[in-house]
């Protein structure tokens, strides 16, 4: 079965960097676009970034543009999110999600999430 397992979250000071990872299994990773979505504690969902199946196209939300980079390692079936210049408002649960390829980019499988806390 499809499984997505995030790791790399933790407590980090403002201005520092953190890299999140998402290990994929149970499906052909190279066939699917992948996303990161975040959710501040007690708040709603916010899309963060998208990478195409072949890694050639990347899009990100304005709130993280220039600071966060999404990339993938197909050989290791792993999705990453490199987060630089972190701010307190980046504090959230970060989920990786698989795009099922239908119009509108539906996320048909989600990881359990990893918590990033940006605080001094």
Residues that bind another protein in the complex, under the rule CB under 8 A: 35, 37, 44-47, 50, 59-62, 95, 100, 102-108, 110-113
* Residue with Cβ nearer another protein (42 or 75): 42
- Name the minimum Å distance from CB 108 to another protein: 5
Distance of CA 82 to the CA centre of its chain: 9
- Name the minimum Å distance from CB 59 to another protein: 5
Number of helices (H), then strands (E), in the chain: 0, 11
The span from the CA of 54 to the CA of 10, in Å, is 29
* Residue with Cβ nearer another protein (56 or 120): 56
Tell the residue number behind the tokens 């499984």, with chain if given: 3
* Residue with Cβ nearer another protein (42 or 120): 42
* Residue with Cβ nearer another protein (47 or 55): 47
The span from the CA of 108 to the CA of 105, in Å, is 9
Which two three-digit tokens encode residue 68?
A: 């966060």
- Name the minimum Å distance from CB 47 to another protein: 4
- Residue 71: strand pairing partners: 80
């Amino acid at each position: 079965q499809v499984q997505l397992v995030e790791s790399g979250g933790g407590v980090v000071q403002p201005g520092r960097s953190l890299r999140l990872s998402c290990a994929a299994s149970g499906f052909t990773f190279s066939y699917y676009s992948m996303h990161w979505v975040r959710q501040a504690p007690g708040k709603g969902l916010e899309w963060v970034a998208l990478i195409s199946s072949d890694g050639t196209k990347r899009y990100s939300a304005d709130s993280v543009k220039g600071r966060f980079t999404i990339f993938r390692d197909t050989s290791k079936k792993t999705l990453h999110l490199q987060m630089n210049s972190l701010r307190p408002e980046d504090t959230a649960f970060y989920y990786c999600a698989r795009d099922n390829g239908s119009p509108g980019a539906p996320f048909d499988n989600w990881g359990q999430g990893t918590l990033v806390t940006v605080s001094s």
